[in-house]
Amino acid sequence: MKKLFGILFVAGLVAASAVANSEDDIKARIAPVGTSCMSGDDCAAAPAPAAAAGPKSGKDVYSSFCTTCHGAGVMGAPKLGDAADWTARAGKGLETLYTHAIGGFNAMPAKGMCAACSDDEIKGAVDYMVENSK
């Protein structure tokens, strides 16, 4: 009987807390995230977008995206620092490496999953890996 009373008591507390939410709290939770400001409307000024930090270095791109596979050689990816892995690939020329890195090659997706990276940033990452694998 005590267990049943305990269960009913806890269930009552949960239900009471759900009912205790005021209508204002509910409206605040389901309110739209943003508002629209049409030209000519008197709206508060929108915050300025954050200034771009500029292009990422090859090392930054490698550290953020490429290291996942190229650090451990996942699915045959040439490992950073392993000259044997990179010699044959580098022998085909940097343009071929750039094309593979940007468009994807074998198991590697296009741009190594860095959709926000520019082609030049991807090329910088390739240069970084080749230079650090001699």
Mean pLDDT of all residues belonging to the chain: 83
At 30, is the pLDDT very low, low, confident or very high (cuts 50, 70, 90)? Answer: confident
Please tell me the predicted confidence (pLDDT) of residue 97.
94
Q: Residue 121 sits in which domain range?
A: 58-131
User: How far is 84 from 114, CA to CA, in rounded Å?
Assistant: 26
DSSP labels, 30-58: HS-S-----TTS--PPPPPPPPP--PPPH
| Structural domain contains residue 30 | no
pLDDT of residue 42 exceeding 80 = no
User: Looking at per-residue confidence, does 58 or 44 come out higher?
Assistant: 58
| Structural domain contains residue 121 | yes
Return phi, psi of residue 54, to 5°: 95, 175
Neighbouring CB atoms inside 10 A of 121's CB total 18
| Structural domain contains residue 1 | no
At 130, is the pLDDT very low, low, confident or very high (cuts 50, 70, 90)? Answer: very high
| Structural domain contains residue 15 | no
User: How far is 134 from 121, CA to CA, in rounded Å?
Assistant: 21
State the total domains in the chain. 1
Mean pLDDT to the nearest integer, 20-38: 71
| Structural domain contains residue 13 | no
Please tell me the predicted confidence (pLDDT) of residue 45.
59
User: How far is 103 from 63, CA to CA, in rounded Å?
Assistant: 20
Mean pLDDT to the nearest integer, 113-120: 93
| Structural domain contains residue 41 | no
Please tell me the predicted confidence (pLDDT) of residue 82.
93
Looking up residue 73, the CATH number of its domain turns out to be 1.10.760.10
| Structural domain contains residue 118 | yes
49-105 tens-digit pLDDT: 555 568 899 999 999 999 999 999 999 999 999 999 999 898 999 999 999 999 999
Please tell me the predicted confidence (pLDDT) of residue 31.
74
| Structural domain contains residue 72 | yes
